[in-house]
């Protein structure tokens, strides 16, 4: 006799934190945005775009998954880099599941090997290996072989499951999500059903502006840029006023950002304003300034003042 609905055991609800880790530019932010169905993390082909832990959640009928998008693992050259690496390491310790994203279009490099070492040392929870950018290679299984070998210790994998993935195109996303949910602990949800991200609007605004700086500038300029929102005010139901300062490390970088007759800053501001209007659903009046704070990435107090406080991670 078939069991009735009332007789079937209830499916336990699961909830927990999932750290998305890997070296720079492996698609962590792309994957987060894809799962949320909305952009909360900026993306760029330039390395080290993500500087802080970005939290975003999806609530399913049987689970709530809180993703922690993290800065790419690398060997830091300055105080900002130290903060970014500390943030990535902390996310591993705080997670219930860790997803290690690798880029199948290139072989493992020193940063991938560093990531493997950190995971072997720090990861005490289920680890999934996500073989990303599978849509861009002819043979994902063969391209993934050196990464599987990299993740072996004493003849055994440090991960529980390897999944071929295209965060951008969708291949393997559902399979990865199912694998994540299956490994989450039984728990009530941590956040309301409609919760998306804990990023304050001022932080989102600063990141959207920085994304456009990354888009419009080249070479060393983007790495030395920080954006601080000085004022954020909803002047009416249909108008948001945002005043922000773009900090750079050199006068030459300031000249590049301003452009001839201020045209580069105007292009950055227009693109940022359009992105913010789409996100906020209001008109945006955006005031931008560019200032020099020499070598700010090398000084702990300057890095903290820009919003990257390493003491909050310890």
Domain ranges for the chain? 14-183, 201-313
Binned at pLDDT 50, 70 and 90, residue 45 comes out as confident
Torsion of CA 167, 170, 176, 180, to 10 degrees: 80
pTM: 0.92
What is the rounded CA–CA span in Å between residue 272 and residue 288?
Answer: 10
Please check whether residue 91 is in contact with residue 70, taking contact to mean a CB–CB distance below 8 angstroms: yes
The residues, ordered by sequence, that sit 6+ positions from 271 with a Cβ below 8 Å of its Cβ are 212, 215, 216
What is the rounded CA–CA span in Å between residue 155 and residue 160?
Answer: 14
Give the model confidence (pLDDT) of 109-153 as tens digits. 999 999 999 999 999 999 999 999 999 999 999 999 999 999 999
Instruction: Say if 14-183 and 201-313 have the same CATH topology.
Output: no
Going 64 to 70 to 73 to 79, the CA torsion angle's sign is negative
- Please tell us whether the domain made up of 14-183 is placed in CATH 3.40.50.300: yes
Give the model confidence (pLDDT) of 247-296 as tens digits. 999 999 999 999 999 999 999 999 999 999 999 999 999 999 999 999 99
**Architecture of domain 201-313 in CATH?**
2-Layer Sandwich (3.30)
Cα of first residue to Cα of last residue in the chain, in angstroms, is 57
């Amino acid at each position: 006799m078939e069991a009735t609905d009332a007789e079937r055991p209830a499916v336990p609800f699961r909830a927990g934190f999932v750290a998305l880790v890997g070296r720079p530019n492996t698609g962590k932010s792309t994957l987060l945005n894809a799962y949320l169905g909305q952009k909360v993390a900026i993306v760029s082909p330039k390395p080290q775009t993500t500087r802080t832990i970005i939290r975003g959640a999806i609530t399913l009928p049987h689970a709530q998954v809180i993703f922690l998008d993290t800065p790419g693992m690398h060997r830091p050259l300055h105080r900002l880099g130290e903060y970014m690496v500390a943030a990535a390491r902390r996310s591993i310790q705080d997670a219930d599941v860790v997803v290690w994203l690798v880029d199948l279009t290139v072989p493992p490099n020193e940063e991938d090997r560093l990531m493997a070492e950190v995971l072997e040392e720090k990861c005490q929870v289920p680890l999934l290996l996500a073989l990303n950018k599978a849509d861009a290679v002819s043979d994902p299984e063969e391209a993934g072989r050196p990464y599987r070998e990299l993740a072996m210790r004493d003849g055994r994998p440090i991960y529980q499951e390897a999944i071929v993935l295209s965060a951008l195109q969708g291949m393997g996303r559902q399979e990865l999500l199912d694998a994540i949910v299956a490994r989450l602990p039984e728990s009530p949800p941590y956040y309301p059903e409609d919760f998306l991200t804990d990023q304050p609007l001022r932080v989102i605004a600063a990141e959207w502006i920085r994304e456009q700086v990354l888009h419009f500038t080249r070479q060393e300029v983007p790495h030395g840029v920080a954006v601080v929102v000085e004022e954020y005010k909803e002047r009416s139901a249909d108008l948001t006023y945002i005043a922000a300062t773009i900090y750079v490390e050199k006068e030459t970088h300031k000249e590049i950002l301003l452009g001839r007759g201020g045209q580069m800053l105007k292009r950055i501001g227009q693109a940022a304003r359009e992105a913010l209007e789409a996100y906020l659903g209001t008109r945006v009046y955006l005031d931008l300034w560019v200032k020099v704070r020499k070598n700010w990435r090398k000084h702990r107090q300057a890095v903290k003042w820009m919003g990257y406080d390493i003491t909050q991670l310890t």
